Amino acid sequence: MTTSPHTYADKAAEAAVRATPEPLARRVRALSDKAIAWLFIAPTIALLLAINIFPLFWAIYLSFTNYRANRPNAEVKNVGLGNYSRVLNDPDIWASMQTTAHFVFWTILLQTVIGFALAYLIDRKFRGHAFWTTLILIPMMLSPAVVGNFWRFLYEPQIGLFAYAVSFLTGIPTSEIQMLGSVSLAPWAIIIVDTWMWTPYVMLICLAGLRSIPDYIYEAAEVDRASNWRQFWSITVPMALPFIMLAVLFRGIENFKMFDMVNLLTGGGPGSTTEVASIALKRDAFEAWATGRSSAFAIVLFVAVFGLANIYVKALNRVKQR
């Protein structure tokens, strides 16, 4: 006689029911599906509340006070909108916002153009394309701390390979190629490193977009005798656009809060030339210990990123619906 697996499962279930103490079984039976669902998501919600929502509300509360984390015994006073007014009228903070905008604009532009171009090339499926794809992806797999440190060495005017390469190509002495110490070059030094590191990420998303375009559309275009140029602008770009926009969104949010790379490469210098908003915020919060004011600054940044991201997502959805 053979026993089917189904019978085994039934027997096991019956055994489990018998083994469950009656009071517990009664309680479990009494729970609705909704209650069980809540039971499963409750730990996640508790964690989210503890490490995301509560700190956010706490920061909002602090932003209306004169609280300083290095003066635990000082009286905490309500200052109303004073911190917000100070943040919004501080020329240094606006300068750091401009630096951030410059950084975000150029990194996104370069990463999108180069990333899409690379994806377009890789999508041709030439010989060895898998090897080249892997090679191109390596920079984004590295830790930003590692990247920041080794680029600092590469940029060294006396021993850095970057300076040697530029000197070889241009004839300018290596000692005059001061990427991190020069006011005009330091912002570009960071843009180059970020572009080197994150272009592969944009490429990957664009590649997914390009590979999602069905072949029959190109075949139909060829039947209609559309040129490659026409196919590119009328099929490839519009159909890959939602993916490109998604990549821009991800990189935009990431670069808006860029900290590690800038901190490692220039520390915000020379002077305040590369002091992006996150560096300015860190200095205000953990060096000047102006906790209330820096909370207001953080909220302003949060609202700016959240607001811009929302507008952008709406635009993205509109593009997707077309």
Residue with tokens 């984390």: 69
Minimum gap (Å) between residue 263 Cβ and other proteins: 8
The answer to whether 64 and 292 have CB atoms below 8 angstroms apart is yes
Nearer CB in complex with other proteins: 172/220:
172
* Distant-in-sequence, close-in-space partners of 283: CB < 8 Å, separation ≥ 6: 268, 275
Residue 172: CB atoms within 10 Å: 12
Contact between 288 and other proteins per CB under 8 A: yes
From 80, 214, 267, 307, residue interacting with other proteins (rule: CB under 8 A)? 267
Kindly list the distances between the CA atom of residue 231 and the CA atoms of 40, 223, 276, 322, in Å, as whole numbers in the listed order.
49, 12, 41, 18
Ramachandran area for residue 268 (φ above 0: left; ψ -120 to 50: alpha; else beta) = left
Kindly list the distances between the CA atom of residue 274 and the CA atoms of 76, 103, 129, 155, 304, in Å, as whole numbers in the listed order.
33, 9, 37, 16, 20
From 144, 148, 268, 292, residue interacting with other proteins (rule: CB under 8 A)? 268
Distance CA 294, CA 280 (A): 9
Nearer CB in complex with other proteins: 143/158:
158
From 133, 231, 234, 272, residue interacting with other proteins (rule: CB under 8 A)? 272
From 62, 290, 298, 299, residue interacting with other proteins (rule: CB under 8 A)? 290
The answer to whether 34 and 26 have CB atoms below 8 angstroms apart is no
Give the phi and the psi of residue 65 in degrees, each rounded to 5: -125, 170
Stretch of 28-36, 66-74, 101-109, 248-256 contacting other proteins, by CB under 8 A: 66-74
Contact between 133 and other proteins per CB under 8 A: no
Stretch of 28-36, 136-144, 271-279, 294-302 contacting other proteins, by CB under 8 A: 271-279
Nearer CB in complex with other proteins: 155/256:
155
Contact between 144 and other proteins per CB under 8 A: no
Contact between 158 and other proteins per CB under 8 A: yes
From 133, 167, 178, 231, residue interacting with other proteins (rule: CB under 8 A)? 178
Which residues contact other proteins (rule: CB under 8 A)? Answer: 69-73, 92, 155-158, 174-176, 178, 180-181, 183, 263, 266-273, 283, 286-290
